[in-house]
Structure 1
Amino acid sequence: MTTKIVFQQPQSTMYVNQSREWSTGICDCCQDLKSCCFSFWCFPCFACKTTRDYGECLCLPILDMFNCIPPVGLSLRVGTRQRYGIHDTVCNDCLYSFFCYSCSWCQIAREMKIRNAPVVLNHALPRATAMGHQS
C-alpha cells in the first residue's frame, strides 16, 4: 500500500480596479479623512506630496498660483484619467479644477491610493491530505 500526499498551495488573489469611472466622487472626502484633513490644513504641502506620488516634480503645484484655471491641477487630473483609463471630459476637468480645486486634488490622491493598492495575498496554510491508494 502506498500513500500519496497532496499539498494544496495557497492561491493569491488580487483586486484590480479596471473601472472606467472614478473610484470615488468629487465630494467623497469622507472616504479618506486623513488626506482630506491634510489638504484642508496645509493644501500646498498636500498638492506637492500628491504630485510627487504621481511621479512628477515636487514643486510643480506652485505654478498653479499664477493662472485662472490651474494648469498643474488640470494636467494632473487629465493625466490621472489617462493613466487609469477613466472616461470623462476635459470640460469637466476644467470645471473641477477651477471651482472644486482642493476636492479635485483629493479625488486624484484617493484614486492613486485605490488604484495603486498593493497585491493582497490570501495566506492560507498548506493542507496535507493523505490519500491511500492500493497498488
Structure 2
Amino acid sequence: MSHQLNQPKPFTMTTMTSLNNQWSSDICDCFDDLPQCCFAFWCLPCFTCKVSHDAGECLCLPLLDAFGVIPPMTTALRVSVRQRYGIQGTVCHDCIYACCCGPCTWCQISREIQARKNPITFVNMAP
C-alpha cells in the first residue's frame, strides 16, 4: 500500500481587492503624495534608488538609466511592479511612460508599492 504525501499548497490572500488589476493611481497623480513628489523633483537619482530598494531591487540599478536613450531600469522596474501586482499593461506602454514621463513613472511606482503594502495571510489548503 503506497501512501502519497502531499504538501499543503499555500493560498495567498490580500485585502486589496479594490485595486484588482489596475494601478492604484494614474501616472499624473504625483501630487497625491506631495512629500514623494517633492523628493522626486529635488533629487530624482536619490528617489529612484530609494524606490528601487523599496521594490526589493538593487539600490543602485536606476543609475544605469543614464547610459541609454530608453531608460532600461525604469522600464524594467515598472514591468516588474506591474507583474508582481497583476496590473494590466504592456511592455510597450511601460517603455513609453519611462521615456516620456520618467519622474512621474517613478512616483507612480512608489505610490503603488506603498498602496500594496498590506499584510499577506497564508492559509493552508487541504489537497
The TM-score normalised by the length of structure 2 is 0.79
Partner of 1:16: 16
- Answer yes or no: is 1:46 the counterpart of 2:56: no
SS of alignment partner, residue 55 of structure 1: coil
> d(CA) in 2 for partners of 1:37 and 1:118?
28
Which residue number corresponds to residue 92 of structure 1? 93
Equivalents in 2 of 1:30, 1:99: separation in Å? 18
Correspondences of 1:60-71 after superposition (within 5 Å): 60-71=61-72
Q: Shift of the alpha carbon at 1:118?
A: 5.2
Q: Deviations over 1:53-82 (max 9, x none)?
A: 111111111100001111100000000000
| In 1, Cα distance between equivalents of 2:88 and 2:117 | 18
- Letter in structure 2 aligned against 1:31: D
User: Which of structures 1 and 2 has the larger relative contact order (alpha carbons within 8 angstroms, sep 6+)?
Assistant: 1
RMSD: 1.5
SS in 2 for 1:81: helix
Once the two structures are superposed, residues 29-70 of structure 1 have per-residue CA deviations (whole angstroms, 9 ceiling, x without a partner) of 121111100000000000000001111111111100001111
Which whole-Å CA distance do the structure 2 matches of 1:29 and 1:73 have between them? Answer: 16
Q: Partners in 1 of 2:78 and 2:16 — Cα distance?
A: 21
Residue identity over aligned pairs, in percent, reads 55
Q: Which residue does 2:117 correspond to in 1?
A: 116
Aligned counterparts, 1:23-42, within 5 A: 23-42=24-43
After the TM superposition, list the runs of 4 or more consecutive aligned residues in structure 1 that deviate by more than 3 angstroms.
Answer: none
Query: Partner residue of 2:73?
Result: 72
SS at match of 1:56: coil
Mapped partners of 1:73, 1:42: distance in 2: 16
